[in-house]
Structure 1
C-alpha cells in the first residue's frame, strides 16, 4: 500500500525533531560546524578538509600500544564521540583476558575503551545516536536474541525480535526503539516466517512478515518514526511509518531488484543498491539520485554524505561523497571495510577497519584494526 501523498509531511516532521537533537550534539561537540561546500577535490586535497583532518588508529591498548587481536565491525555516534566495535584483543582494557570476540566502546574525547559486556556477539553491534545504548545479536541456548546494553547503568537485557534474530539490529537516536528481523525455527511441517519488528516503550510490534527465512535488514530513523527494510527474497525495499502504521514501497519501483543499505538518521534518505549502482532515494520528493559504479556502504545522519566503495579495484577502497555538491573525498586508499552507521553527522568522521599495515606509522601487529578518518 502506497502512502506517498502523506510521506513528505511525515519526513518533514521527523527532520524537525531530529534537527533539534543535532543542534544539541553540535554544542556537545564544541560547536564545530559542518564543512562548507567546495569545488571538486583531487589529490592531497581529498584528505584535508580542515587543519585537524587526519586518520587515527583507535583500537589500541591503554597508553597507546597496539592491540594483540583483530578488531572489526565498527559504528560511530551522531556527534562522533563514541565508537562501538568488536575485538578479540586481550589488552584493550586493563586486566583483559578474553581471547574471543567481545564488544567495546571507545570514547574519542578521553581515549578510554570500555568492554561493555562479557558476552560474545553473534554479529555487528549498533550504537544509539547519543551513545547511551549498544545492541548486538547474541546466541542464547538454542536462540539468537538481541542484547541491549545501557552505558549509564551497565545493565543489559534481551529484546524479542523473534526466535532467531537474523540480522544486526538498528537503534533509534536515544535507544528507546530497536528494529530487528528474525525468523522461526525450520523443520518438517514448519511454515517459514521472517518477521521485521520494532521494540520500544509501547512493546513489540511486527511491521512486516514474509514466508521465507531470507534476511530483512531493517534500518530505523533517529526518532524511531520510520523503519526501512527489505524483502530479501523479492529484493524490494519498503518504508514503514509509526505515525499511521502504513508502509510504502517498493521505493525502487516495480521490477527492480534492490538491496537496502541504510536509512539516514533524520529519516529523509534511503540508500539502496541496484546492480553495480547505488541510489539515494529522497523520501520527501520521491526522487532518487544515482551514484554509478559504486557500492553504497553508509549515509551520514543528515542524509548529505554517502560513504561508498568504488567499483574500480585500482582506486581508493572507501570514498565519501557530498551529495549536494557531487564532490568526493578519499577516506582510505588501502583495503578497508565499513558498515552502516560508519559516518558521523556532517561527514566529519568515518570509522572503518583494515588489516593494512601502512595506514598509520608503527602498525606491526599483523591484525585488523579500527581507524577513524577525520575531515575537520
Structure 2
C-alpha cells in the first residue's frame, strides 16, 4: 500500500513506538496513584514525555504540558477557557471543525473570519489586523491548513495579538513535528497538537501547551488533593482527571524522541521534496487541478487536487482499490473549502511523512494516471 494520508494519522511509526506501548501495558501503572515500582515507572515515563515536549516546543515548565486525547480535546479546553457566551472570537478562513464546532456550541458567540485567498499571506495578516480593530476574546488560528497545506503567517498574527492584548490559540495539528512551534516565541495562551500525526505517536494522544490558567473541561480524580471537591489549581492535574493513557504516553515519548533525533528541519525538507515532486507530476495530467504554491514558506506536505469529470470521493475509492491510500471529500474543514471555492466538490488530498519515498510518488502518479484514463 502507498500511504499518503499522514495528515490524518502517520500510519508508519518508528518501531520503538510499538515496543514502548507493548512494554507499558505490563509494566506501567497509573502515575500518582501509589508508591510501588509500577507507579514510579509510570511517573518517570510521564515526566520524560512532558520534559521532552517542553524542550521541543519552547515551554518553560514541563507542568504546562498537558496530556490530551487529541488536538480536538485540547482545542475544546482552550475555547471553553477563553470564549464565553456572547463573546467575540477571530479565526482564519482555514479552520477545522475542531475549532468551529466548539465555537458554534457556545451561545451567542460572534465569529469573525479573517479571510484571504489561498497562499496570500500578506492579505491574511491585513485581514487579522482589521478584525482586531474591534475587541476580541481570542484569536484561534491553524498553523497549516489540513486541506491545502498552506502555512499561515502565525508568527505575525501572534504579534498582532500581543500588541492588542488578545489571547492567541494555535492549532498545530499539521505542523507539530515539522515546523517550528515555540510557545515562548509566539506568546500563545494555548497550543494544541495531536500525538498521532507529525509526532509519530499513537492515536488517542495529544498535547495542550498552556500559557495561561485553563478552565477544566472534565472533572474527577487526579491522585492529588483528594479532599478537595473542586479540581486542583496546579497543572497538569487541573486538566488531567482519571487514569492516564500510559501505553499512549510511552509511545508518544518514543515518537518525540524520533522527531528530535531526525530533526524537524530534515523531516520538513524531505516532505517538501515529495510534495514538489508530486505537484509537478499532477500538473502534467490533463484535467487535473492542483492547489500548490512553490514557495516553501507557504506550502507544506499537504497537497490537494481534483480531476475534471470525477467525484473526489469516488476517485479516492478508485485509488484505494489500486492500493493508494488518500483522503477525499471535505476533510472536516468546510470553512477552508468555502474560502478557496471547492465546497461543492471537495478535493483529493495527499499528505506525506518521513517514511514516504520518491519511488512511492512516482508509483502513485502512475496509478492515478491509469485511474483517470
TM-score when scaled to structure 2? 0.24
TM-score when scaled to structure 1? 0.24
Query: In proportion to residue count, which structure has more helix?
Result: 2
> Bigger relative contact order, structure 1 or 2, given CA contacts below 8 A and separation 6+?
2
Query: In proportion to residue count, which structure has more strand?
Result: 1
